[in-house]
Amino acid sequence: MSETITQARREENNPATAAPGVQQMSMQQALNRALDEILAEDPKTVIFGEDCGRLGGVFRITDGLQAKHGEQRVFDTPLAESGILGMSVGLAMAGFHPIPEVQFDGFAYPAINQIVCQIARMNYRSRGTLPMPITLRVPSFGGIRAPEHHGESLEALFAHVPGLKVVSPSTPHDAYHLLKYAATRPDPVIFMEPKSRYWQKGPVDVTNALPGTAVHDADADNGGSLTGARVAREGRHITLVAWGAMVARCLQVADLAAEDGIDVEVLDLRWLKPIDAAALARSVGKTRRAVVVHEAPLTSGLGAEVAQLITQSCFSTLKAPVERVTGFDVPYPSGDLEDEYIPNIDRILFGIQRVLEYRRG
Amino acid sequence: MTTNPVPAVVEDDAAPLTHPQLRELYNLMAAVRHLDTSAVAWQRQGIIPGYAPELGQEAAQVGSGYAVDRTRDFVFPTYREMGVARAMGLDMVGYMSTHKATWHGGMYNPLESRFAPIQAVVAGSVLHAVGWAHGQTLAGHAAGEMGVAMTYFGDGASSQGDVHEAMNFAAVMKSPVVFFIQNNGWAISVPTERQVAGGSVAARAAGYGIPSLQVDGNDVVAVYEATRSAFAHCRAGNGPVVIEAMTYRRGPHSTADDPGRYRTLEEERLDAGEDPLTRFRQRLLEEGVADEAFFAEAQRLAEEEEEAVRAGIADLGPRPGSEMFSLVFQEPTPALQSQATAWREESEHV
Ligand SMILES: Cc1ncc(C[n+]2csc(CCOP(=O)(O)OP(=O)(O)O)c2C)c(N)n1
């Protein structure tokens, strides 16, 4: 069976759909609204990148923001990623809160020097006197049959760099709240938007980041649970750990597995750095089995990090080694092979099967 | 060395330097020369592990740094701007702490000193200057009130893509940035003619529509005046300026370098031209601005200062290891905090 992300229409996450303040919107709309509000709330915020002014970005995430907030706050830069990120450093030094955009994940590479050697280190280098409150928005991952370099999974690369934080939303609700949260942090955050999910609608509770709690309780101001993972579906038999676009796919898998009596828990990691180790321990402590699912290549991917964190907290109770279902160690293939590369439902089900059938030798 | 002065496109009507200012410039150059040569000696004596000397570049550094208004401008240095730091009045123990290997970037406060952390990636902070300068534009200062960013880099660094992106950005956005190139003839072992295509770094500015000038980088007054007029141009809202100060790096690139492998002492002597310090001293004598007693006093002050800095860095001591963990983020991650805890427990039990 071959499964594409565009078929993944199931709407995960259901924060009190009936509650007032809950609206159906796509992730693109949720991100756009978040940016609009950030600009309105924080006069020091500036949004810039290639084509994000008049055009509103190739994915329309910044649509209408220049018209509303002016060319000083939302502007087009020349086409140069290192320039965009290097400029962010100086703006942050001058007291601004830059929200730069790299148009596609693969084009973050030309800016790696500025991201890794400059943005990530400036707070340290300056002994805390030059914080870098930069939120770098990166349309990320595959699934849209884009040309080469327009679909990459850079999370392990960024998460490995001291001084950077990395987050990826999987729902419109989280996209809205995580972006607003990230943009108010004093440290650099790489915000990885799953581009295959931009047009999927879902409920967004704009008044309440954490359904069931008040938005502005002390915890939320300290980050609250917006800083951690989210249980996207509760289950008893096995935990699927995923982030970004893979969360929706894992929820599909969970539905299918349920037909065979397998009760799957889906943990949406959200933060790829820092990883919510406690949530992993809680979930796998309960299910005693885990599969990590990611689009990035297997070798040295974040799956290894997650598996180690699980091993550390759940070694004595684990029923089987943690499995990984991932992309392969190949350059991201072109559209026709994409479905072979991105973990599909069958491969994830096989992963679950391997864990369930594991016997100690 | 051949210097082709390109007529300055930027004019300002500031008054010429007064005699006390000229004497101050000399005092700064003398202090920088003595501290610089001493730092090389400190390295030989094992007081510091390494240093990037600027022997011969005192005029370029002091002249440009002297033009900075510390109440509103901001300087983005490389690893070789000790003279600029000194001219801007930085805490020199804090500055030298980088070379002592106490802390990357130095131990001074960049926001107060208006001097960004020392940068080891060549051309690494050229774009930062553009971003900072664009912030000045966004802040909406009245023309003539704007702060100016000055970014320093070498002829070698000018080969980096970031320099070209920075010049293009600054020109498109009309950012108040002075690109100050110290062309000291060499990028470690590679001479400028094997490094810079297009004739000169200043010549490239034309391609971006940025006014540029080459200045005799061994003439402190010429450098000061060029920088001052570039600042005036930027402050008035006219966008960036490129200054290429033609100078010469006498001696090694760093204390780890052996220039004998790429040039002879004779070549060095011929190419270096006249020592900028001797030359300025001669001028002050001829114009009756200073006398031998003044120079003797300048030297005494420089020696006194060097002793204080040497004592200061000797007293620095190692930083507490906990800073390694606590200064990564404003909001540390749980993983980092637990690494810090483990480190503390394990290092206490050694
Ligand atoms: C990106 C980068 N590549 C290489 C180096 C190693 N390196 C340090 S200084 C230098 C030469 C720089 O020459 P130039 O820009 O002319 O400045 P100068 O040292 O002569 O002042 C090199 C190759 C570096 N620091 N950064």
- Per DSSP bridges, beta strands A230-233 and A264-268 are antiparallel
Tokens representing B111?
A: 């926001």
- pLDDT tens digits, one per residue of B244-255: 999 999 999 999
Place of tokens 């406060």: B109
B120 alpha carbon – ligand 1 mean position (Å): 8
Q: In whole angstroms, what is the distance from residue A321 CA to residue A323 CA?
A: 6
> For B140, left (φ over 0), alpha (ψ -120 to 50), or beta?
left
Residue A102 lies in a domain: yes
Residue A173 lies in a domain: yes
Residue A123 lies in a domain: yes
Residues B155 and B201: beta-carbon distance below 8 Å: yes
Residue A3 lies in a domain: no
Residues A177 and A275 in one domain: no
Computed on alpha carbons and rounded to an integer, the radius of gyration of chain B in Å comes to 21
CA distance A28 to chain B (A): 28
- Give the pLDDT band of residue B349 (cuts 50, 70, 90): low
Residues A67 and A99 in one domain: yes
Catalytic residue among B128, B134, B233, B253: B253
Burial of A100-137, coded b for 16+ CB within 10 Å and e otherwise, reads bbbbbbbbbbbbbbbbbbbbbbbbbbbbebbbbbbbbb
- Per DSSP bridges, beta strands B186-187 and B177-183 are unpaired
CA distance A50 to chain B (A): 12
Residues A63 and A138 in one domain: yes
Residues A178 and A234 in one domain: no
> For B101, left (φ over 0), alpha (ψ -120 to 50), or beta?
left
Closest to B185 in 3D by CA, of B143, B213, B155, B161: B155
Supply the CATH number for residue A320's domain: 3.40.50.920
Residues A190 and A337 in one domain: no
Strands (DSSP E) found in chain B: 74-76, 149-154, 177-183, 186-187, 190-191, 212-216, 241-246
Residues A67 and A135 in one domain: yes
Catalytic residue among B86, B204, B235, B249: B249
Residues A190 and A306 in one domain: no
Question: What is the number of domains present in chain A?
Answer: 2
Residues A272 and A146 in one domain: no
Q: What is the pLDDT of residue B14?
A: 82
Residue A85 lies in a domain: yes
Catalytic residue list contains B262 = yes
Q: In whole angstroms, what is the distance from residue B58 CA to residue B249 CA?
A: 10
A128 alpha carbon – ligand 1 mean position (Å): 26
- pLDDT tens digits, one per residue of B285-298: 999 999 999 999 99
CB-nearest partner of B330 from A46, A123, A223 = A123
This prediction's pTM: 0.91
- Per DSSP bridges, beta strands B74-76 and A22-26 are unpaired
Residue A148 lies in a domain: yes
Residues A118 and A124: beta-carbon distance below 8 Å: no
Top CATH class, B19-319 = alpha beta
Residue A14 lies in a domain: no
Q: Ligand 1: which residue has its CA nearest to atom 4?
A: B122
Q: Which residues of B touch A (CB under 8 A)?
A: 74, 76, 103-105, 107, 109-111, 116-117, 121, 124-136, 138-139, 149, 161-162, 165-166, 168-169, 172, 323, 327-331, 333-336
Mean pLDDT of B133-160: 94
Q: In whole angstroms, what is the distance from residue A285 CA to residue B267 CA?
A: 73
Residues A232 and A316 in one domain: yes
Test site for ligand 1: of B80, B188, B262, most ligand atoms within 8 A of the Cβ: B188
ipTM: 0.88
- CB contact under 8 Å between B111 and A129, yes or no, is yes
Residue A9 lies in a domain: no
Q: What is the pLDDT of residue A220?
A: 43
Residues spanned by the domain of A198? 24-205
Which chain B residues contact residue A77 at CB under 8 A?
169
- The low-confidence residues of chain A, meaning pLDDT below 70, are 1-19, 211-224
- pLDDT tens digits, one per residue of A46-94: 999 999 999 999 999 999 999 999 999 999 999 999 999 999 999 999 9
Residues A240 and A326 in one domain: yes
Report the chain A residue with the minimal C-alpha distance to residue B117.
A126
- Give the pLDDT band of residue B5 (cuts 50, 70, 90): very low
Q: What is the pLDDT of residue B10?
A: 53
Q: What is the pLDDT of residue B11?
A: 60
Domain-wise residue ranges, chain B: 19-319, 321-350
Q: What is the pLDDT of residue B4?
A: 41
- CB contact under 8 Å between B169 and A78, yes or no, is yes
Residue B158 pLDDT more than 60?
A: yes
Residues A44 and A117 in one domain: yes
CB-nearest partner of B162 from A78, A86, A274 = A86
Supply the CATH number for residue A53's domain: 3.40.50.970
Residues B135 and A122: beta-carbon distance below 8 Å: no
